[in-house]
Chains A and B, each alone.
Chain A
Amino acid sequence: MVNSGKKASVATVIGNKALKKRFGRLTIQFTGEAAGRFLQVMPGQFVQISLSEAALPNPERISSDLADSAQRQILLRRPFSFCDVTVDRPNCVQVEVLYCVLGPATLRITTLSKGDKISIIGPLGNGFSIPPGKKYALLVAGGMGAPPLRHLATFIRANKPKMRLFAFAGAKSLDDLPFTVEGPKSESPVIPEFSGAGTRLHIATDDGSAGFCGLVTQYMEKWLDESKIPPEDIIVFSCGPEPMLAEVARLSEKYGIDCQVSMERMMACGIGLCQSCAVECKGGTKGETVYKLCCKDGPVFNGREVVFESR
């Protein structure tokens, strides 16, 4: 019972690169005992990062729509999942976080630089799990849901080499995809990050600025309609905005495919103390629902279990 081994650990920043628009990639390193916790990490798990001590960017580097946000103090840690985890040696692990600058905490991430120390709790929660017997994985990402699916693609490549991957990512427009896209206007644009993970990414944009013009779920439905693969051989993994997850879950159910969704909630603690991160799930008895915790029971849930928010 007295097992206080999971407390916050210190990570060292080894890189922080601004990508296009509001996106950036932070690479951090864990050594020693903290690194050990990442050896068994599953894609979809997350960490709670403390950013209250990081500096704000210079005012001239803050876009005008975030000027008010920059005035806000931050108190709580922020949850982030991983885009990649590499084990250098058993006692040295590198974790890559892809971030999107949206408010006071993510503004502060941008100023972290090599050698900085940050406090991190994790890895936390339950990530994706790969059920035995599945031959095909369908990865469906919306916006900032792409990073953990990129991690999952690499993971499947390394651990289930026989499994075939089909990856889809959607965004409002090309600019809102957190990756560099080569040949965006072509029928099949290429995203190097995913090619590196051994899979081609099918892109959908609402405005047609890259790949399929329309919602990623429409693209997914089109693919399912044309697919000759038996549904029981497929597993869908999805991460993105809740309305998109709801549609992915609905389509999966319609086609008789198993589906896992990674949910997002405002989190105060991330470790099961506060009950702030409730996800409504179908309960045992008819019609009843229960609240599960996104941070402890999730963030990855069975798509059939979740009662999606309509707000």
Chain B
Amino acid sequence: MKADRVDLSVDFTGIRLKNPVVTASGTCGYADELSEYMNVDKLGGLITKSITLKPRKGNPVPRIVETDAGMLNAIGLANIGLERFIKEKLPIIKELKVPLFVNVAGEKISDYVAVAERLATEEAISGIELNISCPNVKEGGITFGTEPKQVEKITKQVKKASGDKPLIVKLTPTVTDIAVTAQAAVGAGADALSLVNTFTAMVIDIESRRPYLANRTGGLSGPAIKPIAVYLVNKVYNEVAKSAGVPILGGGGIRTASDAIEFIIAGATVVAVGTATFIEPDAAVQIIEGMKKYCVRKNVSRVGDLVGNLKD
């Protein structure tokens, strides 16, 4: 297999992505920041920071803390809000040749619906990622993502509001059985499933005996969560996604091409790179290169053939 013969492109909710690597929500700003450090046009896609109806200031500091092989964040969905996003960021993003997915969050279902309706009218947007898994806000966020009935309700309404834009539902791993919430989302019309968001966690400063983060708890991301995320992707693939024909956008702790390929073999059609981008801003591009090398070495002509291709 020659490198130029490897087909890295994948079909994701009816959109052709030139490769299966996207940057994860909240880790690549609104694309313009990252484009100073890498050629974002090389990415398969890009997912924006969560957008809410009204601007949000976010949580007090400290908002992050490093842990062994990971980090906790409690940003609190700080974002410029729907209107400023459309006015200030979208014109810049439109210039890029990369499919853009906008991540949507809110406190009430009606907020999510309003944002999705507005985004649905924007041609430059390829799809909507529904964030019902943010562990760091008091209302909304994760509370919509843990109860299967709630997952169903919000997915149904936002799906309707999204018009012809594909809807990706981002699941939280902080549940007893992720297949149940995955099934609820698929049953309500999700076009794809995104997993995992961060794991609720805590770090204590033993000098002051206080929680380190101002928000007390935060979401754990980075290499520490990778094996759990791989397991959850595989579980959702086997129990829900495969039979429903719904693709998975998988991630959690991906740093290298090998990590990304693990997720694809586990059942992800597309992989999201998050925390790794903080360390190497062009991590996603390096992963794409490495993926190609793997395909050459293993004689894989289409990376899509690897999806869920886990042997017993």
Mark A residues whose CB is within 8 Å of B. 1-8, 50, 52, 72-77, 121, 265-266, 268-269, 271-280, 289-291, 296, 309, 311
Report whether B71 and A75 are in contact in the complex, using a CB–CB cutoff of 8 Å: yes
- Contact among A5, A6, A274, A279 for B27, CB-based, below 8 A: A274
Report whether A121 and B61 are in contact in the complex, using a CB–CB cutoff of 8 Å: no
- Tell me, in angstroms, the Cα distance from A239 to B213 when the chains sit together: 24
Q: Given A8-B280, A76-B71, A268-B278, answer yes or no on A273-B64 (Cβ-Cβ < 8 Å).
A: no
Report whether B281 and A121 are in contact in the complex, using a CB–CB cutoff of 8 Å: yes
Most buried by A among B38, B39, B63: B63
- Tell me, in angstroms, the Cα distance from A111 to B115 when the chains sit together: 52
Report whether B282 and A274 are in contact in the complex, using a CB–CB cutoff of 8 Å: no
- Tell me, in angstroms, the Cα distance from A8 to B68 when the chains sit together: 23
Report whether B75 and A274 are in contact in the complex, using a CB–CB cutoff of 8 Å: yes
Question: Chain A nearest CB: distance from B31 CB in Å?
Answer: 10
Question: Chain B nearest CB: distance from A290 CB in Å?
Answer: 7
- Contact among A50, A72, A273, A311 for B28, CB-based, below 8 A: A273
Q: Given A4-B282, A50-B279, A278-B63, answer yes or no on A271-B33 (Cβ-Cβ < 8 Å).
A: yes
- Chain A residues closer than 8 Å to B278, beta-carbon distance: 76-77, 268-269, 273-274
Apart from A2-B39, A7-B281, A265-B62, 15 more pairs, CB < 8 Å: A1-B96, A4-B36, A4-B38, A6-B37, A74-B66, A75-B222, A77-B278, A266-B63, A271-B36, A273-B33, A273-B277, A274-B64, A275-B63, A278-B60, A280-B60
- Residues B94-135 near A (CB distance < 8 A): 95-96
- Closest-by-CB residue of B relative to A52 is B279
- Tell me, in angstroms, the Cα distance from A202 to B61 when the chains sit together: 33
- Tell me, in angstroms, the Cα distance from A311 to B208 when the chains sit together: 11
Q: Which 5 A-B pairs have the closest CB atoms?
A: A276-B64, A269-B278, A272-B33, A268-B278, A4-B38
Report whether A290 and B282 are in contact in the complex, using a CB–CB cutoff of 8 Å: no
Report whether A7 and B58 are in contact in the complex, using a CB–CB cutoff of 8 Å: no
- Chain A residues closer than 8 Å to B277, beta-carbon distance: 269, 273
Q: Given A265-B61, A276-B63, answer yes or no on A75-B70 (Cβ-Cβ < 8 Å).
A: yes
Report whether A274 and B95 are in contact in the complex, using a CB–CB cutoff of 8 Å: no
Report whether B61 and A7 are in contact in the complex, using a CB–CB cutoff of 8 Å: no
- Contact among A6, A76, A276 for B75, CB-based, below 8 A: A276
Report whether B280 and A76 are in contact in the complex, using a CB–CB cutoff of 8 Å: no
Most buried by B among A50, A265, A271: A271
Most buried by B among A76, A121, A278: A278
- Tell me, in angstroms, the Cα distance from A45 to B130 when the chains sit together: 37
Mark B residues whose CB is within 8 Å of A. 26-29, 32-41, 49, 57-58, 60-66, 68-71, 73, 75, 78, 92, 95-96, 214, 222-223, 275, 277-282
Most buried by A among B27, B62, B214: B62
- Chain B residues closer than 8 Å to A73, beta-carbon distance: 68-69
Report whether A2 and B282 are in contact in the complex, using a CB–CB cutoff of 8 Å: no
Report whether A76 and B279 are in contact in the complex, using a CB–CB cutoff of 8 Å: yes
- Chain A residues closer than 8 Å to B71, beta-carbon distance: 75-76, 268
Report whether A272 and B61 are in contact in the complex, using a CB–CB cutoff of 8 Å: no
Write 21 A-B pairs (CB below 8 A) sorted by A numbering.
A2-B35, A3-B36, A4-B37, A5-B36, A50-B279, A73-B69, A75-B71, A75-B222, A75-B275, A76-B66, A121-B281, A266-B62, A268-B73, A271-B37, A271-B281, A273-B277, A274-B278, A278-B60, A289-B57, A296-B33, A311-B214
Most buried by A among B61, B68, B71, B275: B61
Question: Chain B nearest CB: distance from A147 CB in Å?
Answer: 23
- Closest-by-CB residue of B relative to A119 is B280
Report whether B29 and A273 are in contact in the complex, using a CB–CB cutoff of 8 Å: yes
- Closest-by-CB residue of A relative to B42 is A4
Question: Chain B nearest CB: distance from A296 CB in Å?
Answer: 8
- Chain A residues closer than 8 Å to B275, beta-carbon distance: 75, 268
- Closest-by-CB residue of B relative to A296 is B33
Q: Given A72-B68, A266-B62, answer yes or no on A275-B75 (Cβ-Cβ < 8 Å).
A: yes
- Tell me, in angstroms, the Cα distance from A40 to B290 when the chains sit together: 36
Report whether A290 and B57 are in contact in the complex, using a CB–CB cutoff of 8 Å: yes
- Tell me, in angstroms, the Cα distance from A74 to B68 when the chains sit together: 7
- Closest-by-CB residue of A relative to B59 is A278
- Tell me, in angstroms, the Cα distance from A268 to B71 when the chains sit together: 9
- Closest-by-CB residue of B relative to A274 is B278
- Tell me, in angstroms, the Cα distance from A7 to B73 when the chains sit together: 24
- Tell me, in angstroms, the Cα distance from A76 to B37 when the chains sit together: 17
- Contact among B37, B65, B95, B96 for A7, CB-based, below 8 A: B37
Report whether B279 and A274 are in contact in the complex, using a CB–CB cutoff of 8 Å: no
- Contact among A8, A121, A274, A291 for B57, CB-based, below 8 A: A291
- Tell me, in angstroms, the Cα distance from A306 to B36 when the chains sit together: 28
Q: Given A7-B282, A76-B279, answer yes or no on A278-B58 (Cβ-Cβ < 8 Å).
A: yes
- Closest-by-CB residue of B relative to A121 is B281
Question: Chain B nearest CB: distance from A305 CB in Å?
Answer: 15
Question: Chain B nearest CB: distance from A229 CB in Å?
Answer: 36
- Tell me, in angstroms, the Cα distance from A4 to B34 when the chains sit together: 8
